[in-house]
Structure 1
Amino acid sequence: MLKVLVNGACGRMGQMVVKTVLADEEMELVAAVDIKAQEDVGAVVGAGKCGVAVSDNLDKALEDSGAEVMIDFTRPDVVYGNVMTALKHHVSPVVGTTGLSKEQQEEIRQAAEKENTPAFIAPNFAIGAVLLMVLSAQAAKYMPEVEIIELHHDKKLDAPSGTAVQTANMIAEVRKAHVQGNPDEKEKEGYEGARGADQEGMHIHSVRLPGYIASQEVIFGGLGQTLTLRHDTTSRESFMPGVALAAKKVRSLKGLTIGLDKLL
């Protein structure tokens, strides 16, 4: 049985992860952590009492629980510290919280190698979203003019989304670097930011509205044609198979692995 600690256990994603771990015959929930302590996390998520109280002290929970893996769905402003704390305790982090900078990812990579404890980060755990990223990289080889539109719920704290950033990174790896549009004339924005963020010569547009969970469009333009690839998340349940897969495989990896596509 894989011993699992869930960090952010009382949040929207955290509750779903707790239910997934409790229902999986190959995993054992040994600890739950959230900013507000609770008597029993099973009761919190509506799965019935399970005997695991929610702690508000991650460091102590990692030390006392014997966890092998920490699944983190918390906040962008605390996830880096959570990951470094887990690695210090030789617990492998599986991270679904986005917002880590390239510099932070590199520091996590170095810490994972130093502590000989593998770590895993995924911008998106939905299989369909991973396929969207892979297919976008394939399409970009033939249609390099591309823009990305990502749409999320209005409570999401970071923009652009980790999925959009990873998609742009994967596209940048396969296409020649260039600036889209007319290189001889600078675009004029009537309102600052109207063209979205610029990453590797691609524009990324972030939408935040109630009603969405997570969606992304990747639009390619060519001579006399466009190609649109889109993925929509209609339920957070879509993330759970990927989370479970990463939790079960992370201990067999080395250093830091980024992206669920590496496990498929």
Structure 2
Amino acid sequence: MMIKIIVAGPRGNMGKEAVSMIEREADFELSAVVDRKYDGIMMKEAEGMASLQVPVYKDIDKCMKEVNPDVLVDLTNPETGKMHLRKALEHGVRPVVGTTGFTDDDIRGLTSLAEEKQIGAIIAPNFAIGAILLMKLSKMAAKHMDDVEIIEQHHDKKLDAPSGTAMKTAQLISEVRDEKKQGHPQEEEAWAHARGAEYEGMRIHSVRLPGKVAHQEVIFGGEGQTLTLRHDSLNRTSFMPGVKMAVEKVMKTTGLVYGLDQYID
């Protein structure tokens, strides 16, 4: 079955990779793209886009009505991603959203809407298969070593901190780990936030530097030993197998799924 896809954010680094991946897949069809700058032209006429005879829309509602896609792949930013996800569900289009920054209230509201519409939706904090395995391995390790800190590193254009991957990792660890204060009981920060963000006693540190793509370490400490799990995305092609999997899975899913870890044993 051919899956008709629209991509929001086709000029971004991730969007460009997604467009290329969709063009390579025999069962995927790139039907249109949604862009905040260009409207009413073909991609090949727009600066910074692939040279394709595919229409560009600025209005996502108009795009969905005229194109009638199966799936929206959104690779924009947190606020736009939230809005596009909701609009996709309202139009009966299955969204795959790769932006982060969704609150628990956002997730609950969108879950209800997906269930009401009886279609699938996926929010993926990270599309890299290795990063998903890192999350699952971290949950496994936390059953046996419950002192843990997370260090995530990303490019300096990333808007949110900590990353969605770090947050999802901490949430998965918390499912098997009791909340506990780590470090010295009388620990004090000479400089505010030196110990990073805190989630149920775990410390999460965010690094933002040019030259980085997406990197995460999860460090466990125990009596006389440490365990470090690390994943590095060296370029954005590392995310495309996960995007492909998400598009295929969302067609068979009902309701909202948060994180591709639910699809990997």
The answer to whether the superposition gives a TM-score over 0.5 is yes
State the match for 2:124 in structure 1: 122
Deviation at 1:180, TM superposition (A): 1.3
Distance 1:42 1:171, change over 3 A: farther
State the match for 1:167 in structure 2: 169
> Which runs of no fewer than 5 residues in structure 2 stay unpaired?
none
> Which runs of no fewer than 5 residues in structure 1 stay unpaired?
none
Q: 1:1-264, aligned counterparts within 5 Å? A: 1-37=2-38, 39-41=41-43, 47-49=50-52, 51-183=53-185, 185=186, 187-264=187-264
Distance 1:28 1:9 in 2: 15
Moved over 4 A (4+): 42-47
Deviation at 1:182, TM superposition (A): 3.5
RMSD between superposed Cα atoms in Å: 1.3
Q: Identity, % of aligned pairs?
A: 50
Distance 2:135 2:263 in 1: 14
Distance 1:155 1:114 in 2: 36
Deviation at 1:45, TM superposition (A): 6.2
For the 8 Å contact 1:73–1:96, the answer to whether it is kept is yes
Deviation at 1:76, TM superposition (A): 1.1
Question: Which deviates the most, 170-179 or 147-156?
Answer: 170-179
Equivalent pairs counted in the alignment come to 261
Distance 2:16 2:42 in 1: 12
Question: Which deviates the most, 154-163 or 16-25?
Answer: 16-25
| AA of the residue aligned to 2:231 | H
Distance 1:54 1:9 in 2: 9
For the 8 Å contact 2:148–2:220, the answer to whether it is kept is yes
